Amino acid sequence: MFSLEKISIGVQTALNNSLPAFWALMAQFAIVGVLVISLFAVLGLVLVFMERKVSAYMQIRLGPNRVGYKGTAQTLADTLKLLVKEGLIPDGADKFLFRLAPYVVMISAMLLMAPIPFSRNFQIWDINIGVLYISAISSMAVIGILMAGWSSNNKYSLLGAMRSGAQIVSYELSAGLSVLSIVILSGSLQLSEIIQSQENGWWLFKGHIPAVIAFVIFIIAVTAETNRAPFDLAEAESELTAGFHTEYSGMRFALFFLAEYANIFIVCAIGATLFLGGWMPFHVGSWSAFNQIMDYIPGSIWFFGKTFLLIFVIMWFRWTFPRLRIDQLLNLEWKYLLPIGLINLLLITVMAILGWHF
């Protein structure tokens, strides 16, 4: 059976046998770096194409259909265009920060990739505080956005950056609370253990209605955190002309664009890991025959399948709902998501203590 775990172990032993320890470690760093970067590139291409197709079908359009087979090479062509485009820097901009900002956003997205388990024992860094690490690093991306907005020396960018900051900071609370409910249920912050705890069923099903509520809150909050419609006030084309990245062009713009999609992938991967069992195949309590059949599908396929399902849901939101106003946005967070999330957390804690979950 195809398994990423065996490949990674094979590569590791091969490296350790042929190289001294220090260089083996370096080679591993290099391999991981190349893999992450190429995963990002592929994700960018695939997700942009997916988004364009999904949006097209939802709006009764055809979407890209000329370049390559049924338009599949369209994003490749667009990327080439962005690569050769001139990257302008506005005159009054703070040049250093203007250049730095896209990298801050991108690097924080890359760091988030570290604790995500793609398959059984296939994980860059199985850090023991995985969930906390994720919420810590994801709060770094907002700095990049604020930096970009300020250094552009453009009032629309500044407004966009401020909106985005306010939004991310406030929705982080709800996202954190719903993540916390899974931490309470599984009793661990480590992502691999959280997945292991879902061996006999995913938390979404095992945790009854409170888990479902937590899941819904999580999805809403991460949609807001990734600045996507209906929460895209930060880049609202019609009012702020793309907000914090108004002044960006060429490769720097492409980095922001890529980081947005990478972030979507990451939050969906985290959602899939916490609520849908990550790479864990669909298991039902004690039906061992059924469980065995499910085990034949490799974990990486389960993982990517669930992640893309969530990505699709988030895209579905984007192409269905109109944009919220800033006061509606804050109302939603502080009057609805947060109180409901808190009460829900309480319910889940009671449930976990009494052992009502399966």
Partner 1 sequence: MGFLKNYIKTVYEAVSSLLKGMKRTGYYFTHHKEIITQSYPDNKDTMILPERFRGEVVMPHTDSNEHRCTGCTACELACPNGTIKIITKFEMTPEGKKKKALDTFVYHLELCTMCNLCIEACPTNAIKMAQNFEHSVYDRSQLTKTLNKEGSKLMEGVE
Partner 2 sequence: MNMESIVFYMLAFLVLSGGIMAVTARKIFRSAIYLLFSLVGIAGLYFLLAYEFLAAVQVVVYVGGIVVLIIFSIFLTQAADSDLPKALRGRKVFSFLATAAGFALVLTQILRHNFIPSGSEPVSTNVTEIGLRMLSTGEGGYALPFEVVSVLLLAAMIGCIVIAIKKPGNS
Shorter beta-carbon distance to partner 2: residue 158 or 337: 158
Residue 50 in contact with partner 1, rule: CB under 8 A: no
**Least spacing, CB of residue 217 vs partner 1, in Å:** 12
The identity of residue 191, as a single letter, is: L
Q: Give the CA distances from residue 273 to residues 65, 285, 300, 344, 356, in Å, rounded to whole numbers and listed in that order.
A: 34, 19, 12, 20, 22
Residue 143 found at the interface with partner 2 (CB under 8 A): yes
Q: How far apart are CA 204 and CA 100, in angstroms?
A: 40
User: Which of the 8 DSSP states describes residue 19?
Assistant: S
**CB under 8 A: which stretch of 4-12, 57-65, 123-131, 273-281 binds partner 1?**
57-65
Applying CB under 8 A, which part among 157-165, 209-217, 219-227, 269-277 lies near partner 2?
157-165
Q: Which of these, 257, 256, 271, lies nearest to 313 by C-alpha position?
A: 271
Q: Which does 189 bind (CB under 5 to 8 A by kind): partner 1, partner 2, none?
A: partner 2
Residue 35 engages partner 2 in binding (rule: CB under 8 A): no
Q: How far apart are CA 63 and CA 319, in angstroms?
A: 13
Question: Burial code of 180-192, b = ≥16 C-beta within 10 A, e = fewer?
Answer: bbbbbbbebbbbb
Please name the residues in contact with 329: beta carbons below 8 A apart, sequence gap of 6 or more.
167, 224, 231, 233
CA angle, 48 as apex, 47 and 51 as ends, to 5°?
Answer: 80
Q: Which is nearer to partner 1, 161 or 314 (CB)?
A: 314
Using CB under 8 A as the binding rule, whether residue 342 contacts partner 2 is answered as no
Binding of partner 2 by 55 (CB under 8 A): no
Q: Is 304 helix (H, G, I), strand (E, B) or coil?
A: helix
Judged by CB under 8 A, the chain residues 89 through 118 that form the site for partner 1 are none
For residue 257, the minimal CB distance to partner 1 (Å) is 24
Site string for partner 1, 299-328 (x = CB under 8 A): -----------------xx-xxx-------
Q: Does 326 bind partner 2 (CB under 8 A)?
A: no
Site string for partner 2, 159-198 (x = CB under 8 A): --xx--x---x--x----------------x---------
Q: Which is nearer to partner 2, 112 or 213 (CB)?
A: 112
DSSP string over 103-170 = HHHHHHHHHHTTT---BTTB-S---TTHHHHHHHHHTTHHHHHHHHHHHTT-HHHHHHHHHHHHHHHH
Q: Which of 4, 47, 106, 146 binds partner 2 (CB under 8 A)?
A: 146
291 binds, among partner 2, partner 1, none (CB under 5 to 8 A by kind): none
As beta bridge partners, residue 119 has 122
Distance, CA of 333 to CA of 344 (rounded, Å): 15
Q: CA dihedral defined by 8, 10, 16, 19, rounded to 10 degrees? A: -100
- Return the range that interacts with partner 1 (CB under 8 A); candidates 61-69, 74-82, 143-151, 163-171: 61-69
| 150-158, 218-226, 241-249, 319-327 -> range binding partner 2 (CB under 8 A) | 150-158
Site for partner 1 contains 125 (CB under 8 A): no
The answer to whether 265 touches 104, Cβ cutoff 8 Å, is no
Residues forming the site for partner 1 (CB under 8 A): 54, 56-62, 65, 316-317, 319-321, 336, 340
| Binding footprint of partner 2 on the chain (CB under 8 A) | 22, 25, 92, 94, 96-97, 100, 127-129, 132-133, 135-137, 139-140, 142-143, 146-147, 150-151, 153, 158, 161-162, 165, 169, 172, 189
